[in-house]
Amino acid sequence: MSDTAGGPTSAFPGGARNWFGTDGVRGIVGERITEELVERLGRAATTWSGRGRVLVGRDTRASGVALEEALARGIASAGGVAVLAGILPTPAVALMAYDLGAVVSASHNPPEYNGVKFFDRDGHKLPAADEERIEELLESDTGEVAGGSVERLDGAAESHLEHLLERFGSDLSGLRIAVDCANGAYAGLAPRAFERLGATVTAIGNEPDGSNINVGCGATDLALLQRTIRGGAFDLGIALDGDGDRLLAVDENGEVVDGDRILAILALALGVDQVAVTVMTNLGFHRLMAERGIHVHVTDVGDRHVLEALRREGGLLGGEQSGHVIWLRDHVTGDGLAIALLLCSALAGRPLSQAAALYDPFPQRTANIPVGARAVPPEVLAEVARLNAELAGRGRILVRPSGTEPVVRVLSEAETAAEAENLCGRIARLVEQTLG
């Protein structure tokens, strides 16, 4: 059984917002993202939040140092206190946020990207209305306010590691695991977490140099982890993304275990009665949840929407196929390392391949079409609606503009791979023809 909590939008996610997308302000450094913009963002967000203390973390991008300094200048110039914690995973900033939390990161994007995302004092991503208010303040910048300052916080990453071990850890003695840190914010921390719980760990993507975050490694590129698993004796592999809020897994045979399957494993192991997922979640997952009597809330794409649904419905578990998986007991947002620890515990001695074989997924195909427009044309939406009506539950098509990249994303799902391929190709060609 499922319901819809805010269906997919046909317009660009973010509505009237000029800078904020689905996950903060993000773009290529030197083009969309500049020190001047980040400084103004810091000033506007601090003014909006009441000029309190702002915890600032960043990932491992080379551009992060200068942008962190720019953000701190903006916070201080608005009369706030910028508390710089250095390299810190995004979920740690959310969990530790003061009056405001800010992360200098472009998450899973390549190294040339960077950005800023904010959390309120409860560790929640800001709703669209608050981001719009910050944009208004950004455009009506009134200059400096006295009384601001910049401080530095040592040991924040270690404190976060201790929290995860205490609240999410279990005895992992004998487990052989490969951990891909994406050369990102969890480099060093994630391997130590598993080692301290007794696992035998091989770390890859664990040498950030400022230019290699998410490059050929991590949750956005599983090839290195798959080669590692297939080339040795491992029970599983986990891959984090650059800022640490996403995770995907690879089983002992080197096969990918996506966010849907991870979520299914946890739903059954943790004994929940409801979950929140996005419109991207496989129809096979929905069938399994229905069989087990677990209610499914369906939201638009983006972990912020999943979080909103969980808080509204009183749920604890939710996530996305892409690897944003959320467990709200002892946390406030999705945390790749926390979920990896829960996944290892949920295996209870089983191979990951066995645990993941809970349902037969519908074959899916996806396409990303580069575009300049911010909306899907009406004729595309009409054709998608016609085909979905024709499929009558035997499959589906979803088309939406990305909130983080200049592309339109197409997803098709059907009972056979050939039909899914055909549906995806038809809509992708239509998008290219209408927006090309």
pLDDT tens digits, residue range 236-272? 999 999 999 999 999 999 999 999 999 999 999 999 9
Domains 9-155 and 364-435 share a fold: no
In the predicted model, is pLDDT for residue 373 greater than 70? no
Per-residue pLDDT at 139: 87
Average pLDDT over residues 404-413: 87
Average pLDDT over residues 407-414: 93
Higher local confidence (pLDDT), 433 or 59: 59
Question: How many degrees, rounded to 5, is the angle at CA 171 between CA 336 and CA 346?
Answer: 55
Q: DSSP letter for 124, please.
A: P
Cα distances from 329 to residues 167, 272, 435, in angstroms, run: 9, 12, 44
Q: How far is CA 214 from the centre of its chain?
A: 13
In CATH, which of 3.40.718.10, 3.40.50.1980, 3.40.120.10, 3.30.930.10 is domain 9-155? Answer: 3.40.120.10
Per-residue pLDDT at 104: 98
- Within 13 A of 331's CA, how many CA atoms are on the CB side? 31
pLDDT in tens, 293-331: 999 999 998 888 999 999 999 999 999 999 999 999 999
Average pLDDT over residues 397-416: 88
Per-residue pLDDT at 22: 78
Q: Where are the beta strands (DSSP E) in 209-335?
A: 236-240, 247-250, 256-257, 274-278, 295-299, 317-319, 325-327
pLDDT in tens, 4-44: 433 333 233 334 578 998 789 999 999 999 999 999 999 99
The CATH architecture annotation of domain 364-435 reads: 2-Layer Sandwich (3.30)
Per-residue pLDDT at 405: 77
Per-residue pLDDT at 404: 67
Higher local confidence (pLDDT), 54 or 403: 54
Annotated domain spans of the chain: 9-155, 364-435
Q: What are phi and psi of 351, to 5 degrees?
A: -65, 145
Q: Which residues are catalytic?
A: 107
Across 41-45, 129-133, 184-188, 431-435, least confident range = 431-435
Higher local confidence (pLDDT), 164 or 3: 164
Rounded CA gap, 171 and 199, in Å? 8
Percent over 70 (pLDDT), the chain = 95
Q: Tally Cβ neighbours within 10 Å of residue 319.
A: 29
Rounded CA gap, 333 and 351, in Å? 28
pLDDT in tens, 178-215: 999 999 999 999 999 999 999 999 999 999 999 999 99
pLDDT in tens, 72-98: 999 999 999 999 999 999 999 999 999
Per-residue pLDDT at 393: 81
Q: What are phi and psi of 91, to 5 degrees?
A: -65, -25
Q: Which pLDDT band holds residue 1 (cuts at 50, 70, 90)?
A: very low
